[in-house]
Structure 1
């Protein structure tokens, strides 16, 4: 079974979820994508774009990190432009080492990650020429990753995807692993019924 993990460095919940995902015994393919493009495709705003929800989200993720024993320090500003970090990850092969290094730089140490200049120490540690973040092949790979995620139905990050199912969010990890270990979790009749539940009313 192929398991994909869609994420963006802009998301602190992706950072938290990565700590669990990288510990799985199964092989998981990290897929960096542009969360903003996913939001645009779905006609949504991100939590950090909604007053009130923004502040709650920041406090909630800090609380989750403390509950899970994960060091988390917000960068100097958020939301920030994650393109440089995403491209650097791809230039480094989207390896677990690259994902770790970038998440740690931004979300564990609280450094800025919005430009290749600010990420120069990470690029050096990974042995990647910063100029590669402007390579057309790297940019094309990020676009392709994002388009594939949208086509697969991804609507948020982080998302763990396998066997045609999407599990969104750090707090959905237990559900995802239960379904991964036992497909009958999703095959359950009530799970199937709610998957095609009629819509009673729609906002205009």
Structure 2
């Protein structure tokens, strides 16, 4: 049976954007499946001792930018470290991805497009019209998905993802859990790859 990666990520996570393609590639290479689980990261932080970016010490904020520049150069991926609409409310975007997943949509391209809208294209991903345009660009039924995103079933799934993340030991985004083992950060994908090579 294929092994499953539980992928917990925030829809405002620049690091999730940087790791998106490599996660897909390693899962395909190792014959693993991915469960896409958007979470409410501020809620995770509140329960695990994290601090949202604007409230971090200036030294930590400066180092984040330095690290982003290093990784962007290494990966050949552009990210604006301080976009115009940085880390808005990610609730609707998260629920849109959950709704799409529930309809059988392959959501890797969708969540990456939403992240790119924020970190590369200076767009506000909390705005329904922005999300509608992204959905249409992905040839998806925007009206249906935006409506589903507001249903109690999808709202409950979002809370459930967040609770499951904390239960799994997650405290940041992106996080990957393979059979109970946590790997935090796109810079730990090599370790995840090694774990997938081992016997389950």
1:115 aligns with 2:127: yes
Deviation string 1:42-69 (CA, Å, 9 cap, x unpaired) is 1221344203112321332133112111
Which of 161, 165, 183 is 1:145 aligned to? Answer: 161
Partner of 1:19: 21
The aligned runs of 1:3-152 (5 Å cut-off) are: 3-24=5-26, 25=28, 26-52=32-58, 53-74=60-81, 75-93=83-101, 95-125=107-137, 126-129=140-143, 130-152=146-168
Following the alignment from structure 1 to structure 2, what is the Cα–Cα distance between the partners of residues 133 and 124? 16
1:167 to 144, 163, 183: 183
Distance verdict in 2 for CA 1:136–1:169, change over 3 Å:
same
Q: Write the distance in 2 (CA, Å) between the matches of 1:115 and 1:6.
A: 23
State the distance in 2 between where 1:10 and 1:168 align.
Answer: 16
Matched-pair contact (CA < 8 Å) for 1:91–1:128:
no
Where does 1:189-200 land on structure 2 (aligned, <5 Å)?
none
| C-alpha contact 1:157 1:168 (8 A) present in aligned 2 | yes
Instruction: Give the drift of 1:159.
Output: 0.6
CA shift digits 1:71-109 (9 cap, x unpaired) = 223531323211121111112117223223222222232
* Distance in 2 of aligned mates of 1:58 and 1:132: 36
Instruction: Give unmatched runs, 5+ long, in structure 2.
Output: none
Name the structure 2 match of 1:158: 174
| Structure having the higher Rg | 1
TM-score of the two chains, using structure 2 as the length reference: 0.82
Unmatched 5+ stretches in structure 1: 185-204
Aligned length: 184
In the aligned structure 2, how far is the partner of 1:63 from the partner of 1:111?
A: 24
Q: What is the aligned-residue RMSD (CA, Å)?
A: 2.0
SS of aligned partner of 1:41: helix
